[in-house]
Structure 1
């Protein structure tokens, strides 16, 4: 009998359970009102006197082992329940990583860069905090020139010669100062103008400006380059150039594409004409070339510039420019499938 009880002690020590039901079955088996220990204590009176001491010690050892095992298993299972309550079910597979999306401005900027890269344009960048020379004077806008009023500028109060750039043409000036023709570059970047924020304008926006300088560059080269761009970007093959004025190009033009009148939105954004302005352009003024150390008698060139937000609003039919800067996740998640 004593050997049988010792076997039970070994079974108790080796017992493991991963749920409360098995622990309860184990407790009832050994410690229940009709359990094994109850029966053993009932048999105690039938044990010979010379064996009662050893028999009693073995029974008490079995009882202690069973009680300790039940308490340990219950505590272990309760700690798992607490952890599961804090961290969730630890046995569940890991959650997939919630990938972000590219901002629509970045998507459009990258598309523009890719299109012009295919025809040999590289990318040039420059500082957003600029000096008067690179932002205005070198671009044929000397001090007190009335055309400066076309761009409401953020000046640094302590130094009126320092400002937030109003266009990325300043990058082109820096590029021409450090590189000799042939030059074929585009300059994407953020610019700043002191304008009232509305659904159609913002004090911060993004531009891409292009510059091509070489021998015998003509207005026809400019038109063909812009026609190539509009076909690749919008799938539109009909453009027109309207005479305009920019201080740093002569002659200058506004570029329109024929958007069409296929639906109500087309009528609204083109004001019923079917034509839509997308950028400005022109032949680089000889004074600009001279200011940047390039001989205007030997070289000619063209330049163009467009607003990235305006292009994105057209491509994605976005009616309010402020949506680009509000960081509304519901808006940004719509561009997850875009490159």
Structure 2
């Protein structure tokens, strides 16, 4: 931890020196590539953090995220400054500037709202010490059902209207992102703190709040003596950070999910009101997803000693969280190529 902390301090000093030496837009782009790009120094810190213990992740994760945010703000200020300065220099260089010339408007691209929300949620979990894991969208039945305590004759399987691949009786489009957690538990031994995000598929009719494809986020913690208190704290921390509401609270109701015992339905106090509104339908509570303590059979399927370890799992629809946060009336709007609708979220891009 000491070495990584020292590396972060040295990197912070290096970033400041590089910022001070920026003298053009070209230098701004070089700075971005060096420190913020896909292979830059700051993203590399997250890769280093993945190899650390949960305790170190909890201590250094927020420091890394703060460093990234401050660096992006400082760079944006530099870009703004040098853009104006170079434009002014270009005007002065030309003796004649025709103000009547039409400007070629170039449309600016941006990340999709669901990608932005997914990234935001992942960053929240990373700050709590979780590591992001991914799984295949085309999956074997075992990882989607059997390993999650849903055998072929289990009635809960009927609730999953599944897309099966023609000619491949054991392959399907995953109905949840839990498959990524099974792959990870088979490859690693506890303690584990992972979060998986991605597209999932259900063969069902579409309406304003349902679609055959949607984004999902699931988190899993496996360790010794994990309790519902840990689960409650994790969910509440995630939702408070996501909605920017420090007074938001949650409640849990009994629910049934084959892969957890006990199973719980999670509601959150409405982040938009205290007396009832259209979003919560006057109840002051909004249903968000499911959670619970990991069923021992799931641990056994991954060769994890359920007499020593236990854990919690939670799952929420990213699409639903996006609808709630940005007051979007119909989930289908997120998947249609309506540029006027999608472009209103361009300002969210960092």
2:288 to 244, 264, 278: 278
Please say if residues 207 and 308 of structure 1, whose CA atoms lie closer than 8 Å, have aligned partners that are also in contact.
yes
Q: Deviations over 1:164-209 (max 9, x none)?
A: 0000001110110101111101000000000101111000001010
Instruction: Write the deviation string for residues 181-240 of structure 1: whole angstroms up to 9, x where unpaired.
Output: 111010000000001011110000010100000111111111111111121112142110
Cα distance in 2 for partners of 1:99, 1:308 equals: 25
- 1:179 paired with 2:188, answer yes
List aligned pairs for 1:16-165, cutoff 5 A.
95=104, 97-165=106-174
- The alignment status of 1:197 with 2:206, answered yes or no, reads yes
Aligned to 1:57: none
Larger Rg: 1
Q: Write the distance in 2 (CA, Å) between the matches of 1:193 and 1:262.
A: 32
Equivalent residue number for residue 85 of structure 2: none
Alignment correspondent of 2:342: 332
CA RMSD of aligned residues (A): 1.9
Residues 1:229 and 1:261: Cα distance change in structure 2 (over 3 Å): closer
Structure 1 unaligned spans of 5+: 1-88
- Give the superposition deviation at 1:98: 2.6
In the alignment, is the contact (CA less than 8 A) between 2:138 and 2:172 conserved in 1? Answer: yes
Separation (CA, whole Å) in 2 of partners of 1:283 and 1:95: 57
The TM-score normalised by the length of structure 2 is 0.68
- Residues 202 and 298 from structure 1, CA distance in 2 versus in 1: closer, same or farther, beyond 3 angstroms? same
Residues 261 and 208 (structure 1), Cα distance of their counterparts in 2 relative to 1, 3 Å cut: closer
Q: Classify 1:332/1:261 alpha carbon distance in 2 versus 1 (closer, same or farther; 3 Å).
A: closer
Q: Which runs of 5+ in 2 are unaligned?
A: 1-97
Partner of 1:322: 332
Which is worse superposed, 293-302 or 95-104? 95-104
The one of 230, 249, 252 aligned to 2:260 = 249
Would the aligned equivalents of 2:228 and 2:312 in 1 still touch at CA under 8 Å?
yes
- CA gap 1:257/1:318 in 2 versus in 1, 3 angstroms: same
Distance in 1 between residues matched to 2:294 and 2:274, nearest whole Å: 38
Aligned CA distance change for structure 1 residues 143 and 196 (closer, same or farther; 3 Å): same
Shift in Å at residue 101 of structure 1? 2.2
Shift of 1:92: 5.2
**1-side partners of 2:200 and 2:132: how far apart?**
16
CA distance in 2, matches of 1:262, 1:291: 44
Instruction: Decide whether the 8 Å contact of 2:208 with 2:332 is kept in 1.
Output: yes
TM (norm. structure 1) is 0.70
Question: Residue 237 of structure 1 corresponds to which residue in structure 2?
Answer: 248
Alpha-carbon separation, structure 2, partners of 1:143 and 1:317: 39
> In structure 2, what is the Cα distance between the partners aligned to 1:329 and 1:155?
33
Q: How many residues align?
A: 249
- 1:276-315 deviation digits (Å, cap 9, x = unpaired): 0112100000000000110001111000000011000000
Aligned to 1:212, the other structure's residue is in SS state strand
